Amino acid sequence: MDKRHEKLRIPYRKEGESLDYESDAKVEALQEINGELIRVGNVDIRETTQSTLVLENPKIRIQTNIGDTLKLRSQQDLSSFIRRRHAVTRILNAESAIPSLINYFEPLTCPHPQYLQPEPNDSDLDAYNRYDKDGELSFSLNRQQRDAFSKLWSYGPLSLLQGPPGTGKTSFIASFIHYALSQGAQSILLASQSHEAVNNAAEKVIELCQHSNLPLDVVRFGAEGMVSEKLHPYHSSSILQNYRDLFRSEMRVRISAMNRNLGLPNKFVERWFDIEYQLKRLNREIERLTTKLNKNEISEANNNPLIARINQRLERFKKIASEKFGYAGEGTPEEVINQLSRETMNQFGVTSLDAVSRLEQVIAMSQEWVDRLGTLRGNFEEFLAKTRSLVCGTCVGLGRSQFGVAKNRYDWVIVDEAARATPGELAIAIQSGRRVLLVGDHRQLPPLYPEPVVRKISIELNYSDRAVLTRSDFERAFESDYGKQVGATLRTQYRMAPPIGEMVSACFYPKPLEPGRGNPEPWFNQLPKRLSSIITWVDTSDAGGES
């Protein structure tokens, strides 16, 4: 509990779609207490991460024991549902970038694959070899990955890759995106059901492009707290702030260059700009806060912080007036500004009030442009989604109307963890791709549908086969005749020791996974006996719900 700011930080795990609210969204945390669903706090979206939920002003009654459940609610939830429904409707009505896209998910009537472009050869794919400092080969696409790469690249327009955990699918996706860009792709949409998968793949792509000096413009959309540190410079808000900072830094020079058109001395324009930009803007902020205080728009208990903010800005105003403009007198901010304005006009011999008025209009227009960059009305995010060569985000997050993804056309749409995505989540991304690559594993990572939803759909459709109702669209396409022709599977896993891999393989896959790594290092044998085996079973049945 952070008592200074009345914030509660809770480790959490979320079921269903990723937490991907807008940074300014108002999200309530609700909890069922004594049979009643009550609000127990507001979610701080900016500080919330993939592992820690941050609540502002948490209620004393909140229950935060392991296993307790919170429900999040916002107006954005309804908007998210509408976006998903609209994306599905577009695909059903053949309005997607691939008009016949829906047919590829119909096992009985799916179209034949199309041969679209020549396969890359081994020398092309050797470009993704990596060597250590001693010149030894440390990474190379294996034979399965190369064969899959060639098939997925050449046949489509829908391509399908089954990538079990640990088989190198993140490196595969990064190499595939890099190759597409090197072959002339202008726009690629990278999406996933989770933030972590988006972050990992995007970081790999950036690393590859930097290593090969391939130009790359990236934008990462989504809640800032869910974005990895390496991707923060590429987040839409960071790019926006960079544009604003750049324009602000150049604004004085640009406006000063207009002195001849305005008929004013250059030094006068620079000083007048400084008065407008540094003092008048600060005074307007002071006036706004004072008006808010006088109108009693907030409770009296909260007046002290507001008064402190006003006093802080007044002190800053006096400091700038003194240090920047040499003003040593007293007076209100408005009186100080008027006095400095008169002195500046007299100093440079300016008498034309019309010319000064036009200068003020130019400064105001420039500042308005900078301010508009920070609003949704500026359509800056839509501009980024349309012009960046790699656009990244979660399936749900990318559906927001201000991004305009549904209206764009991407050379490739690549969706990782596609087998976990619901039809609506998947539709948001794939509706915009001229070619689509779905990467997932329906054997280990299927979608998670809430049991009440499955029961309701079963009743409404009068259909009781749960296996059919809960199949992912990825599985439908991959197991179809079309999927058997264009689909590929990665079977060599590098994450698990062979005995663990054999167990996982036997549990989930009809064809065994192949080990890509050996047994653990010999020093593992020095661990205590109960931990010395590669696989250790622990019976927790006596612990009940605490197991």
Tell me, yes or no, whether 444 and 479 share the same domain.
Answer: yes
pLDDT at 16: 64
How does residue 316 score in pLDDT terms, banded at 50, 70 and 90?
Answer: very high
Q: Identify whether 537 is part of a domain.
A: no
Whether pLDDT at 297 is above 60: no
> CATH number for the domain including 119?
3.40.50.300
pLDDT at 446: 81
Tell me, yes or no, whether 88 and 212 share the same domain.
Answer: yes
Tell me, yes or no, whether 212 and 85 share the same domain.
Answer: yes
Q: Which of 53-62, 188-197, 377-386 has the least mean pLDDT? A: 377-386
Mean pLDDT of the chain: 89
Average pLDDT estimate for 130-150: 93
Instruction: Check: CB of residue 405 under 8 Å from CB of residue 282.
Output: no
Tell me, yes or no, whether 418 and 330 share the same domain.
Answer: no
pLDDT in tens, 282-293: 999 999 988 888
Lookup: tokens for 330: 């007293």
Q: Which of 149-153, 390-394, 464-468, 514-518 has the least mean pLDDT? A: 464-468
Per the listing, tokens 């500046």 go with 344
pLDDT at 434: 98
Peptide bond into 157 cis (omega under 30): yes
CA distance 205 to 218: 10
Q: Identify whether 2 is part of a domain.
A: no
pLDDT at 493: 93
Q: 202-211, 236-245, 276-285, 324-333: which has the highest mean pLDDT?
A: 202-211
Report the chain's terminal Cα–Cα distance, integer Å: 26
Lookup: tokens for 438: 């779905």
CA distance 86 to 148: 33
CA distance 119 to 147: 9
How does residue 5 score in pLDDT terms, banded at 50, 70 and 90?
Answer: low
Percent of the chain having pLDDT more than 70?
95
Last residue of a domain, one of 52, 73, 94: 73
Q: Which of 114-123, 280-289, 474-483, 529-538 has the least mean pLDDT? A: 529-538
DSSP class of 235: B
Last residue of a domain, one of 73, 91, 107: 73
pLDDT at 375: 66
What is the total residue count of the chain? 547
Chain centre to alpha carbon of residue 452 = 29
Tell me, yes or no, whether 324 and 354 share the same domain.
Answer: yes
Tell me, yes or no, whether 86 and 194 share the same domain.
Answer: yes
Whether pLDDT at 198 is above 80: yes
Q: Identify whether 533 is part of a domain.
A: no
Lookup: tokens for 296: 């009693």
Lookup: tokens for 157: 């327009």
- Tell me which of 462 and 255 has the higher pLDDT: 255
Instruction: Tell me which residue range forms the domain holding 369.
Output: 242-376
Average pLDDT estimate for 248-267: 89
Tell me, yes or no, whether 199 and 113 share the same domain.
Answer: yes
Lookup: tokens for 223: 């809640």
Paired sense of beta strands 130-131 and 412-416, if any:
unpaired
Q: Identify whether 366 is part of a domain.
A: yes
Say what angle helices 266-274 and 333-347 make with each other, to 10 degrees: 180
Tell me, yes or no, whether 254 and 312 share the same domain.
Answer: yes
What one-character-per-residue DSSP string does 164-232 give?
A: -TTS-HHHHHHHHHHHHHHTT---EEEEESSHHHHHHHHHHHHHHHHHHT----EEE-S-GGGS-GGGG
**CB-hemisphere CA count at 13 Å for 220?**
27
How does residue 260 score in pLDDT terms, banded at 50, 70 and 90?
Answer: confident
Average pLDDT estimate for 512-517: 90
Instruction: Check: CB of residue 432 under 8 Å from CB of residue 409.
Output: yes
pLDDT at 3: 42
CA distance 527 to 546: 27
Q: Identify whether 526 is part of a domain.
A: no
**H-run or E-run covering 115:** strand 114-115
- Residue 321, CA distances (Å) to 9, 191, 315, 325, 346 in order: 42, 50, 10, 5, 18
- Residue 332, CA distances (Å) to 287, 338, 339, 369 in order: 11, 10, 11, 29
Tell me, yes or no, whether 67 and 92 share the same domain.
Answer: no
If 0-12 CB within 10 Å is exposed, 13-18 middle and 19+ buried, where does residue 146 land? buried
CA distance 124 to 176: 11
Tell me, yes or no, whether 32 and 89 share the same domain.
Answer: no
Lookup: tokens for 434: 């001229």
pLDDT in tens, 40-57: 888 988 888 888 999 988
Percent of the chain having pLDDT more than 90?
55
- Tell me which of 132 and 183 has the higher pLDDT: 183
pLDDT at 4: 42
The three-class DSSP label of residue 384 is helix
- Tell me which of 340 and 110 has the higher pLDDT: 340
Chain centre to alpha carbon of residue 365 = 32
Nearest to 343, CA basis, from 335, 354, 355: 335
pLDDT at 294: 82
pLDDT at 388: 97
Q: How many domains does the chain have?
A: 3
Q: Identify whether 383 is part of a domain.
A: no
Chain centre to alpha carbon of residue 289 = 34
- Residues paired with residue 52 on neighbouring β-strands, in sequence order: 11
CA distance 301 to 535: 60
pLDDT at 269: 94
Dihedral Cα 497, 501, 504, 505, nearest 10 deg: 180
How does residue 444 score in pLDDT terms, banded at 50, 70 and 90?
Answer: confident
Phi, psi (rounded to 5 degrees) for 454: -60, -45
Instruction: Check: CB of residue 392 under 8 Å from CB of residue 219.
Output: yes
Tell me, yes or no, whether 262 and 354 share the same domain.
Answer: yes
Q: Identify whether 530 is part of a domain.
A: no
CA distance 229 to 222: 13
Q: 125-134, 174-183, 275-284: which has the highest mean pLDDT?
A: 174-183
Cβ contacts of 209 within 8 Å, gap of 6 or more: 178, 181, 215, 216
Tell me, yes or no, whether 103 and 153 share the same domain.
Answer: yes
